[in-house]
Amino acid sequence: MLECSSMTYTAKTFNLPALTGLSEKQIKVHLALYEGYVKNVNLIMETLKGYAAYGDKATDGDKLAIAELRRRFAFEFDGMRMHELYFAQLEAGGSEMEAGSALAAAASAKYGSSENFIKHIREVAGTRGIGWVVVYADPKAKTIHTTFVGDHEIGQLAGLPILLALDLWEHAYMVDYVPAEKKNYIDAFFANLNWSVVEKRFDKAI
């Protein structure tokens, strides 16, 4: 059965301050890429809606196009949502993790300390290649997991709420840094990361 939704998504706006180590131009380029994901999510849904009108008259070529659009949808949709998570973490300026927060307790239980948790995220972020570092909450096990996700529509941990999303695709930093300077971008990310956003996500998940 073809999808036939009439809803559309709207690109979110983010209250981003001047960011340490990330230029206004870099953020503008990155936001434009995010808006492209939103546009393509809507375009795929609208195109599938158009194919739905063909009904049983859809040709083999139509069916092939439909199948490819369905495959593409996860890439565009996850790209949209991951970037919303990413930019929301940078709103209101950088902040430290609260020592007494539930997230800090879970980080200490899993990694030995909050400092070790952050060190581990940085280590995972150093993985060669493009992708994301994603920190998840596992409500059933009452723990957290830090993973490297190459393509945002593949390799996600099913059903687990996302706490932190660190974009390591080159579009996230190439205006300001060359690939060999990725560590500088990671430093900038942590300098601007608002841990209260991550903590609230954890509190809601657990």
> In 3D, which of 91, 88, 82 has the Cα closest to residue 167?
82
Give the pLDDT of residue 6. Answer: 60
17 domain residue, yes or no: no
pLDDT, one tens digit per residue, over 99-122 is: 999 999 999 999 999 999 999 999
All residue ranges of the chain with pLDDT < 70 are: 1-6, 55
Give the pLDDT of residue 51. Answer: 86
Q: Which amino acid is at 83?
A: H
Q: Are residues 76 and 122 in the same domain?
A: no
Residue 205: HSE in the Cβ half-sphere, 13 Å Cα cutoff: 25
Give the pLDDT of residue 85. Answer: 98
Give the pLDDT of residue 40. Answer: 98
- DSSP-derived secondary structure letter, 98: P
Threshold 0.85, pTM exceeds: yes
Q: Are residues 125 and 176 in the same domain?
A: yes
Q: Are residues 112 and 168 in the same domain?
A: yes
Structure tokens given for 179: 């690939």
Q: Are residues 121 and 184 in the same domain?
A: yes
End of a domain among 88, 117, 133? 88
**Which CA distances in Å does 149 have to 5, 67, 142, 157, 182?**
29, 24, 22, 9, 17
CATH code of the domain containing 164 = 3.55.40.20
Q: Are residues 112 and 38 in the same domain?
A: no
Number of H helices, E strands in the chain: 6, 3
Give the pLDDT of residue 69. Answer: 95
Q: Are residues 195 and 115 in the same domain?
A: yes
Domain that residue 139 falls in: 102-205
5 domain residue, yes or no: no
Q: Are residues 39 and 120 in the same domain?
A: no
Q: Are residues 63 and 149 in the same domain?
A: no
Measure the CA–CA gap between 118 and 54, rounded to whole angstroms. 52
How many domains is the chain built from? 2
Give the pLDDT of residue 189. Answer: 98
End of a domain among 39, 62, 88? 88
Give the pLDDT of residue 2. Answer: 39
Q: Which amino acid is at 201?
A: R
pLDDT, one tens digit per residue, over 148-173 is: 999 999 999 999 999 999 999 999 99
Q: Are residues 198 and 107 in the same domain?
A: yes
Q: Are residues 110 and 197 in the same domain?
A: yes
Q: Are residues 72 and 147 in the same domain?
A: no
